[in-house]
Amino acid sequence: MAETRHFQLPIVAQEAKEENGNATNQVITELGTVKYKRWICILLCIIFLLCGQSVAALLGRLYFDKGGKSKWLSTLIQFAGFPILVPFYCISRPKMLTANHCSIGSNNQPSIMMLGLVYVTFGLMSAGIGFLYSVGMQYLPISTVTLIAASQLAFNAFFSYFLNSQRFTPFIINSLVLLTISSVLLVFNNNSSRLAGVSQVHCAAGFICTILGTAGSGLLVALQQFALRKLVVRQSFKVVLDLVMCQSLVASSAILVGFFASGDWKGFSGEMDEYGLGKFSYLMVLIWTAICWAVFYIGAVGLVLEVSALFCTAISALGLPIVPIIAVFVFNDKMDGIKVISMVLAIWGFISYVYQQYLDDYMPKTENTGEISELF
């Protein structure tokens, strides 16, 4: 009998070891599947953001280049496309919660009044930022506006440090320094940053408004991340839609007030008649610009929800080479040595930041695998 027990013990131990090994493999497989699905979602958001941003920026410049004059109308079409997002409510579904996506210190959903205050605040901020960018778009080449907007990454990192406990590493600091230098170079490049018929005063106003709009965008994205992770308990694609649509509704309403109060609406009919590409093209430019901005906002808020505000801003900087190069052929923008250097620095800064994201994603994966093995 003792011998029987003696032989059974190794068998039981071996079976327990195999069960533990299978459980470990199952956990690792499930973690891999969740990460795989998450990165598919992130990839879709990146495509939405880059395509929407690039096409909308080019169409926005085309509006002014062919005879458009209303800054209020140019701002309105940045947000007026949100109704096309309504069908997305039919396909939205909750996503798996993670530690990063849970509210801290509260298990209850925020009150409707609190959410309303957040949406109104974000909407008014968006309206102001959009108007500043419209001023810059009217008085500066699109390539210059786009390259200045790259400094949003630096502004966002600064605000995220205080609001979202953003960690600064050597690669992120290197990225921020390069992007800042890239934008500063353009400030001293006055010769190629002047459009025909634009005065020095208007050119300076365009620079100032674009920089202020960029700083405001960095703050807004950081605040969106803060609100999503601190106020909203159950995170889902519907949460993204709610934020985009409510924010766009408030922004559109505020801009409409300015559009009518400024008297710009009186010249709408005449502007359409005198548009260089004709009435139909005038309407198409406005409609498709609005649609592209709506697609951009879905991608942007989705990245803030899935990753971080700083990652969203870094991906936005990835579109830098696209718009300036196309603008050289479409709008005859000058691409001199300063702009080329600025673009190279901006791309370098983006690559530096993406590499840090790779390290952040790879290291926890290896650490978690080791921890799981130790549990068994």
Please give the backbone phi and psi of residue 96, each rounded to the nearest 5 degrees, phi first.
-65, 135
Residue 371: which pLDDT band, with cuts at 50, 70 and 90? very low
CA 322 – CA 142 distance, rounded (Å): 11
Residue 39: which pLDDT band, with cuts at 50, 70 and 90? confident
Residue 44: which pLDDT band, with cuts at 50, 70 and 90? confident
What was the pLDDT predicted at 330?
Answer: 74
Is 14 a residue whose pLDDT tops 90? no
Q: What percent of the chain has pLDDT over 70?
A: 73
Domain boundaries, the chain: 54-89+112-362
Is 317 a residue whose pLDDT tops 80? no
CA 179 – CA 218 distance, rounded (Å): 13
Higher pLDDT, 10 or 210: 210
Q: What is the mean pLDDT of residues 161-186?
A: 78
Kindly report, residue by residue over 60-109, the tens digit of the pLDDT: 888 888 888 888 999 999 898 888 878 777 765 544 434 344 443 445 56
Give the pTM: 0.73
What was the pLDDT predicted at 325?
Answer: 73
- Which pair of structure tokens corresponds to residue 344? 């190279």
Residue with tokens 């530690």: 99
What was the pLDDT predicted at 171?
Answer: 83
What was the pLDDT predicted at 104?
Answer: 38
Is 118 a residue whose pLDDT tops 70? yes
- Are 58 and 330 in contact by the 8 Å Cβ rule? The answer is yes
What was the pLDDT predicted at 358?
Answer: 72
Q: Which residues pair with 236 in a beta bridge?
A: 94
Residues 6 or more apart whose CB falls under 8 angstroms from that of 211 comprise: 148, 151, 183
> Three-state SS for 333?
coil
Cα→Cα distances 337→71, 143, 341, Å? 31, 13, 6
- Which pair of structure tokens corresponds to residue 352? 């530096």
Q: What is the mean pLDDT of residues 303-319?
A: 73
DSSP assignment of 123-186: HHHHHHHHHHHHHHHHHS-HHHHHHHHTTHHHHHHHHHHHHS-PPP-HHHHHHHHHHHHHHHHH
Beta strand residue intervals within the chain, DSSP E: none
Virtual torsion, Cα 134, 136, 137, 138, nearest 10 deg: 90
Give the DSSP H or E segment for 37: helix 2-65
- Are 53 and 319 in contact by the 8 Å Cβ rule? The answer is yes
What was the pLDDT predicted at 227?
Answer: 84
DSSP class of 235:
-
Burial of 331-354, coded b for 16+ CB within 10 Å and e otherwise, reads: bebbeeebbeebbebbbebbbbbb
Most confident of the following: 3-17, 268-282, 292-306? 268-282
Q: What is the mean pLDDT of residues 185-209?
A: 73
User: Longest Cα pair distance anywhere in the chain, in angstroms?
Assistant: 104
Is 120 a residue whose pLDDT tops 60? yes
What was the pLDDT predicted at 224?
Answer: 84
Is 350 a residue whose pLDDT tops 50? yes
